[in-house]
Amino acid sequence: MAAKKLNIKDKYRLLTRDLDWDFSYEDRKQAFPYEEFEGIKITDWNKWEDPFRLTMDSYWKYQAEKEKKLYAIFDAFSQNNGHLNVVDSRYVNALKLFLTGVSPLEYQAYQGFAHVGRQFGGVGARVACQMQSLDELRHVQTQIHAMSHYNKFFDGFQEFSHMHDRVWYLSVPRSFFCDARSAGPFEFMVAIGFSFEYVLTNLLFVPFMSGAAHNGDMATVTFGFSAQSDEARHMTLGLEVIKFLLEQHEDNVPIVQKWIDKWFWRGTRLLTIVAMMMDYMLPNKVMSWKEAWEVYFEEAGGALFKDLARYGIRMPKYAETIEKEKEHISHQAWWTFYTHGHAAGFHTWIPSDKELDWLSAQYPDTFDKYYRPLWELAKEQEAKGERFYTSGLPQLCQTCQIPMLFTEMDNPNQNSMRDSVFEDERYHFCSDGCKDIFDEEPEKYVQSWLPVHQIFQGNCGGPGVEDVLSDYYKMNVGVDNMDIKGSPDEKRWNEWKGIA
């Protein structure tokens, strides 16, 4: 007689829940030593729900299928010199930022989920986290594979992992994940599983990847959407964790709310880089950062928080500031990179006139008033042969590590600065959000490895900035950095395309 095919629910029970065991002669608390110190109370792990009920056998089957599809496209892409189909050589700089700033986060996500996939006391949560851990490892691998093709033809891809651990602006994404991974397992899940995966990665992987397609980059849209196909599972895991914690004990509610406040603020700061990539680094525009923010944060996030209101959870703190920031941050960030273009690992440029007009149309309330005049000035200087680079090193926020580039949202002519004193030392912040996070856990954030401080302390070689860039960061100075105009990237591109 043929064996009866199990339905999803029975299969999930047998191949997941049934893999657990009781602790008869060992102390359960010693097996899961991190489960209690954050103050979270779990009364019954059996209440854990996994709506996808994915078991390991199906997991391998579907992941293998995704990989086969993906690598077939990578092969076609490189066999057909797919890099020649991207819109222009400026576009590739968004990929350099992606590989140095984002792909290593996939690796950190892999490490983080491997850790919590061991440390949670409930078998359902452990298995889901282990699958996510494997997904994240797949993401970093496929991204490196995809970019290795660009590395053959463009500058700035060669030392992505070395740079990620050292370069001044890459400490922003790096420290974000280090902060999450050095927290307890439940805070990690609220930080990465919920805040980052459920709301914020959409902004990185959906409109930006759709933008990659729109800019002729078949490899990137393919790895992006292949990664995203795992993301729906990650998002659902994040949401289930939150609901589970809130249902387990009412004492968990204020703790979870505090983490939501912290990590949504940390996340919106981190996404400043994505805002700039969308508005300035994609030559063919799909949607503005502001519009993407409205669809994926305000609308989707709004629905989510309405759903969570029944547990006593409210919108993240600073939601009003965050709403105003969508009009400003991409412009403030790209201006900062433009003026520090000699110290970046990629090229910068003045937007074309057509792009300036697009920005004016997308940001009617802010662009012409505050930002267009800066670019008109930069154009004049460039025309005189005096392309502007700033000479100083920026002061960094102690929490998010972003240079102090943000303004007050109600007065965009005024730089935003906050400070706190801890054990007789004064620390500086870009915002109320970052100051509050520091004030909550100063012992943690005084240890931040701030790249500019490290340079001044002589820990990054030197003595000059150029020595730091070339010897400590391993940038090819004069090749990887500076304006796209006159760069070797641009020169090669023009030769390939027969542009005089």
Partner 1 sequence: MSKVYIALQDNDESRYIVEAIEESNPDSTVIHQPAMIRIEREGRLVIERAVVEEKMGRDWDVQELHINLITLGGNVDEDDDQFVLEWKQ
The residues binding Fe ion (CB under 5 A) are: 106, 136, 139, 234
Q: In angstroms, give the least distance from the CB of 400 to Zn ion.
A: 3
Whichever of 233 and 340 has its CB closer to partner 1, that residue is 233
The reply to whether 53 sits near partner 1 by the rule CB under 8 A is: yes
Q: Report the residue from 40, 42, 54, 170 that binds partner 1 according to the rule CB under 8 A.
A: 54
The reply to whether 236 sits near partner 1 by the rule CB under 8 A is: yes
The reply to whether 397 sits near Zn ion by the rule CB under 5 A is: yes
Distance (Å, rounded) from C-alpha 488 to C-alpha 156? 11
Q: In angstroms, give the least distance from the CB of 178 to Zn ion.
A: 15
Largest Cα–Cα distance of the chain, in whole Å? 86
The reply to whether 333 sits near Zn ion by the rule CB under 5 A is: no
On whether the CB atoms of residues 177 and 112 are closer than 8 A, the answer is yes
The listed partner (partner 1, Zn ion, Fe ion, none) that binds 397, CB under 5 to 8 Å by sort, is: Zn ion
The reply to whether 307 sits near partner 1 by the rule CB under 8 A is: yes
The listed partner (partner 1, Fe ion, Zn ion, none) that binds 306, CB under 5 to 8 Å by sort, is: partner 1
Distance (Å, rounded) from C-alpha 147 to C-alpha 101? 13
The reply to whether 267 sits near partner 1 by the rule CB under 8 A is: no
Q: In degrees rounded to 5, what are phi and psi of residue 386? A: -120, 55
The reply to whether 270 sits near Zn ion by the rule CB under 5 A is: no
Whichever of 310 and 354 has its CB closer to partner 1, that residue is 310
409, two tokens: 């949202």
Distance (Å, rounded) from C-alpha 166 to C-alpha 164? 6
Burial of 153 (0-12, 13-18, 19+ CB in 10 A): middle
Distance (Å, rounded) from C-alpha 255 to C-alpha 270? 22
Q: Report the residue from 172, 434, 482, 484 that binds Zn ion according to the rule CB under 5 A.
A: 434
Looking at residues 43 to 72 of the shown chain, list those that interact with Zn ion (rule: CB under 5 A).
none
Binding segment toward Zn ion, per CB under 5 A, in 55-63, 186-194, 302-310, 429-437: 429-437
Distance (Å, rounded) from C-alpha 496 to C-alpha 138? 33
The reply to whether 343 sits near Zn ion by the rule CB under 5 A is: no
Q: Report the residue from 28, 29, 249, 306 that binds partner 1 according to the rule CB under 8 A.
A: 306
Q: Report the residue from 430, 455, 468, 482 that binds Zn ion according to the rule CB under 5 A.
A: 430
Which pairs from 204-213 meet CB under 8 Å and 24+ separation?
A: 204/102, 204/271, 204/274, 205/231, 206/296, 207/278, 207/286, 207/287, 207/292, 207/295, 207/296, 208/274, 208/277, 208/278, 208/282, 210/286, 211/278, 211/282, 211/284, 211/285, 211/286, 212/282
On whether the CB atoms of residues 143 and 450 are closer than 8 A, the answer is no
The listed partner (Fe ion, partner 1, Zn ion, none) that binds 139, CB under 5 to 8 Å by sort, is: Fe ion
The reply to whether 402 sits near partner 1 by the rule CB under 8 A is: no
In this structure, the strands spanning 411-415 and 407-408 are antiparallel
Q: Report the residue from 187, 231, 327, 480 that binds partner 1 according to the rule CB under 8 A.
A: 231
Whichever of 137 and 477 has its CB closer to partner 1, that residue is 137
The reply to whether 64 sits near partner 1 by the rule CB under 8 A is: no
Whichever of 197 and 480 has its CB closer to partner 1, that residue is 197
43, two tokens: 């009364």
Distance (Å, rounded) from C-alpha 296 to C-alpha 315? 15
The reply to whether 76 sits near partner 1 by the rule CB under 8 A is: no
Whichever of 207 and 412 has its CB closer to partner 1, that residue is 207
Angle between helices 218-248 and 252-270 (to 10 degrees): 160
- Name residues whose C-beta falls within 8 Å of residue 273's C-beta, 6 or more positions apart in sequence: 97, 101, 169, 172, 173, 333
Binding-site ranges for Zn ion (CB under 5 A): 397, 399-400, 430, 434
Binding-site ranges for partner 1 (CB under 8 A): 7-9, 51-54, 58, 62, 65-66, 69, 202, 205-206, 209-211, 213-214, 221, 225, 228-233, 235-236, 239, 286, 299-300, 302-304, 306-307, 309-310
